[in-house]
Amino acid sequence: MDHSEQAAQGLGPFISYVLGWTYFVAWSASFYPQAILNWRRKSVQGLSLDYIYLNVLGFLCYSIFNLSFFFSSEIQDEYKRRNNGKENLVRANDIFFALHALILSTFTLVQTWVYKRQESHQKVSLWAKIYIVAAVVIAVALAAQAAFGKQGREWIDLLYYLSTVKLVISFLKYCPQVYINWRAQSTVGWSIHNILLDFTGGVLSIAQLVLDASIAGDWTGVSGDLVKFGLGFLSIAFDLLFMTQHYILYRDRTDYYAPIQAIDKTEGGERRGLLQPETRDYHAIHPAADLEESRLP
Instruction: Indicate if 201 and 286 belong to the same structural domain.
Output: no
Whether residue 245 is found in the same domain as residue 275: no
3-state secondary structure of 169: helix
| 82 pLDDT above the threshold of 60 | yes
In a domain, 240, yes or no: yes
Judged by DSSP in three states, 267 sits in coil
Asked if 112 and 44 count as a contact pair (C-beta separation under 8 A), the reply is: yes
Q: Is 187 within the bounds of a domain? A: yes
Residues 215 and 268 in one domain: no
Q: Do 241 and 289 share a structural domain? A: no
Full residue range of the structural domain in which residue 279 is found: 263-295
pLDDT digits (tens, 9 = 90+) for 31-59: 999 999 999 989 998 899 999 999 999 99
What is the tens place of the pLDDT at every residue in 11-25?
A: 888 888 888 889 888
Classify residue 151: in a domain, yes or no: no
Do 181 and 103 form a contact (C-beta atoms < 8 A)? no
Contacts 24+ apart (CB under 8 A), 228-232: 228/89, 228/90, 228/94, 230/167, 230/170, 231/62, 231/166, 231/167, 231/170, 231/202, 231/205, 232/201, 232/202, 232/203, 232/205, 232/206
Do 179 and 60 reside in the same domain of the chain?
yes
pTM (2 decimals)? 0.73
Q: How far is residue 178's CA from residue 184's CA, in Å, rounded to a whole number?
A: 10
- In this structure, is residue 234 part of a structural domain? yes
User: How many domains in the chain?
Assistant: 2
**What confidence score (pLDDT) does residue 221 get?**
59
Average pLDDT, the chain: 80
User: Which pLDDT belongs to residue 290?
Assistant: 44
Taking residue 251's Cβ as centre, other Cβ atoms within 10 Å add up to 11
